[in-house]
């Protein structure tokens, strides 16, 4: 078992990573003075697997539990889903001291965190991520949001959880595609912030692909520690934290254009990283980055190519990105491990790289 501190000033919390965390959750949950009920937010598929185990642990802490079900995936992250959860909490007479426990992937965590941060002006919440993507990224750092039809994560807050519990045993139940999707975020951290993790992945990815618990404990802890350092420096995403968006500017646009029903998040981010590598090299940065990125992605069982929407549709979507500032903002690598934020990427540059990747005009 590993514990990583997210040292946000005034709101530090622990990320606990290991096997059997769910079954022993009563030992890892923080105290909730004055609480009488814990509200578990989850989708049907995840709750069928894990809610009973978590419920026993919560009861052992002397709290009653209420399960609140939401749709699976990005469908949950809507204003309608947000309102539904708020009204369920009010209907159950949830009070300011009662915690929300977000049991699920990144979408559940984003929605539940947003609800917790706004219901009664804020109630405590805990992230219990059940996907690799959420364990290494989405559950850490306090970003909460829902989507609008016009774009991803356009309505949300910054609100830190009280704790994050990452049980490695849940990785065994993930569908192969979902697990590989999470490896895209692992690759992001390796390329941008942790050269030792990159060396591990490049030298022998087999234990990672096989979901070896010992290796994955180290991999997840490394990703969490890397993100924790950046979040502590820039909680509200105004400077250093922007580098965590490597691959995400184009990736989010592709998810939006797919209406969140085509590619997985990780598959979209992979194409975003391929794009960013090509753009960096076109600007004279990071020689050989495209080839190295391609090798890494393929070694993790991910595809570095895929169908792309027309360039003009992509450009229209990019202009709605939260990070748009008189031009499309991208995170690039000056070299592996040296990310930089650029704000002056022109439509022509975007179109050129998309054309190289096979996008129609």
| 3-class DSSP assignment, residue 141 | coil
**What are the angstrom distances between the C-alpha of 233 and each of 10, 137, 222?**
13, 16, 17
Domain count, the chain: 2
Residue 60 belongs to domain spanning: 2-173
Q: Is the pLDDT of residue 151 over 60?
A: yes
Tokens for 35, please give them.
Answer: 């609480």
> Is 83 in the same domain as 17?
yes
Q: Is the pLDDT of residue 322 over 60?
A: no
Position 328 scores a pLDDT of: 80
Q: Contact, 330 vs 279, CB < 8 A?
A: yes
What's the rounded Cα separation, in Å, for the pair 289 and 90? 52
> Is 249 in the same domain as 265?
yes
Question: 349: which DSSP letter?
Answer: H
> Is 110 in the same domain as 182?
no
> Is 150 in the same domain as 240?
no
Nearest to 127 by CA among 34, 36, 17, 236: 17
Within a domain: residue 327?
yes
Identify the band that residue 324 occupies on the pLDDT scale cut at 50, 70 and 90: low
Q: Contact, 111 vs 89, CB < 8 A?
A: no
Within a domain: residue 361?
no
Identify the band that residue 323 occupies on the pLDDT scale cut at 50, 70 and 90: low
> Is 87 in the same domain as 232?
no
Within a domain: residue 230?
yes
Residue ending a domain, among 124, 142, 173, is: 173
What's the rounded Cα separation, in Å, for the pair 305 and 284? 23
pLDDT digits (tens, 9 = 90+) for 171-208: 999 999 999 999 999 999 999 999 999 999 999 999 99
Residue 25's φ and ψ, nearest 5 degrees, are: -60, -30
Within a domain: residue 224?
yes
Nearest to 211 by CA among 292, 127, 131: 131
Summary mean pLDDT of the chain: 95
> Is 98 in the same domain as 148?
yes
Q: Contact, 272 vs 251, CB < 8 A?
A: yes
> Is 147 in the same domain as 202?
no
Residue ending a domain, among 173, 199, 233, is: 173
CATH number at residue 168: 3.40.50.1970
Within a domain: residue 314?
yes
pTM over 0.85: yes
Q: Is the pLDDT of residue 246 over 80?
A: yes
> Is 92 in the same domain as 189?
no
Nearest to 156 by CA among 169, 164, 166, 146: 146
Nearest to 113 by CA among 87, 85, 132: 85
> Is 126 in the same domain as 220?
no
Q: Is the pLDDT of residue 335 over 80?
A: yes
Tokens for 236, please give them.
Answer: 């509200």
Position 344 scores a pLDDT of: 86
Beta-carbon neighbour count of residue 72 at 10 Å?
16
**What are the angstrom distances between the C-alpha of 18 and each of 2, 98, 341?**
6, 26, 34
> Is 70 in the same domain as 118?
yes
Residue ending a domain, among 128, 157, 173, is: 173
Q: Is the pLDDT of residue 260 over 70?
A: no
Q: Where are the beta strands (DSSP E) in the chain?
A: 2-6, 13-18, 37-43, 64-70, 100-104, 125-129, 143-148, 151-158, 163-167, 328-335, 338-345
Q: Is the pLDDT of residue 27 over 80?
A: yes
The three-state (H, E, C) secondary structure of 209-224, written as one string: HCCCHHHHHHHHHHHH
> Is 162 in the same domain as 207?
no
For the chain, give the number of residues.
361
What's the rounded Cα separation, in Å, for the pair 17 and 135? 9
> Is 117 in the same domain as 233?
no
Within a domain: residue 211?
yes
Q: Contact, 221 vs 313, CB < 8 A?
A: no
CATH number at residue 330: 1.20.1090.10
pLDDT digits (tens, 9 = 90+) for 288-314: 999 999 999 999 999 999 899 999 999
What's the rounded Cα separation, in Å, for the pair 191 and 171? 23
Within a domain: residue 72?
yes
Burial of 259 by CB count in 10 Å (0-12 exposed, 13-18 middle, 19+ buried)?
exposed
Helix (H) or strand (E) holding 179: helix 176-192
* Bridging pattern class, strands 13-18 and 163-167: parallel
Q: Where are the beta strands (DSSP E) in 140-289?
A: 143-148, 151-158, 163-167
| Among the ranges given (122-126, 207-211, 323-327), the one the predictor scored with the smallest mean pLDDT | 323-327
Identify the band that residue 325 occupies on the pLDDT scale cut at 50, 70 and 90: low
Helix (H) or strand (E) holding 207: helix 206-209
pLDDT digits (tens, 9 = 90+) for 107-146: 999 999 999 999 999 999 999 999 999 999 999 999 999 9
Contacts of 206 (CB under 8 A, 6+ apart): none
Within a domain: residue 22?
yes
């Amino acid at each position: 078992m590993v514990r990583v501190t997210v040292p946000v000033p005034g709101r530090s919390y622990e990320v606990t990573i290991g096997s059997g965390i769910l079954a022993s959750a009563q030992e890892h949950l923080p105290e909730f003075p004055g609480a009488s009920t814990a509200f578990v937010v989850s989708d049907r598929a995840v709750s069928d697997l894990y809610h009973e185990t978590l419920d026993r642990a919560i009861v052992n802490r002397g709290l009653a539990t209420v399960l609140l079900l939401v749709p699976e995936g990005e469908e949950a992250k809507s204003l309608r889903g947000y309102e539904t959860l708020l009204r369920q909490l009010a209907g159950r007479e949830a009070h300011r001291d009662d915690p929300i426990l977000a049991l699920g992937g990144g979408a559940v965590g984003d929605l539940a965190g947003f609800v917790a941060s706004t219901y009664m002006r804020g109630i405590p919440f805990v992230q219990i991520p059940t996907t690799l993507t959420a364990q290494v990224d989405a559950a850490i750092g306090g970003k909460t949001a829902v989507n609008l039809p016009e774009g991803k994560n356009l309505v949300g807050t910054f609100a830190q959880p009280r704790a994050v519990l990452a049980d490695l045993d849940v990785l065994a139940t993930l569908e192969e595609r979902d697990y590989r999707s999470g490896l895209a975020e692992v690759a992001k951290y390796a390329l941008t912030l942790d050269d030792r993790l990159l060396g591990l992945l490049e030298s022998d990815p087999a234990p990672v692909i096989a979901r070896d618990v010992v290796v994955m404990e180290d991999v997840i802890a490394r990703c969490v520690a890397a993100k924790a350092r950046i979040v502590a420096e820039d909680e509200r995403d105004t400077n250093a934290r922007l580098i965590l968006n490597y691959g995400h500017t184009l990736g989010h646009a592709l998810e939006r254009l797919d209406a969140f029903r085509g590619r997985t998040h990780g598959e979209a981010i992979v194409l975003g990283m391929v794009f960013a590598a090509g753009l960096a090299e076109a600007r004279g940065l990071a020689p050989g980055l495209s080839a190295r990125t391609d090798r890494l992605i393929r070694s993790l069982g991910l595809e570095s190519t895929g169908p792309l929407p027309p360039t003009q549709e992509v450009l229209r979507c990019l202009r709605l990105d939260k990070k748009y500032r008189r031009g499309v903002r991208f995170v690039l690598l000056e070299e592996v491990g040296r990310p930089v934020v650029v704000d002056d990427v022109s439509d022509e540059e975007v179109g050129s790289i998309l054309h190289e990747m096979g996008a129609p005009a």
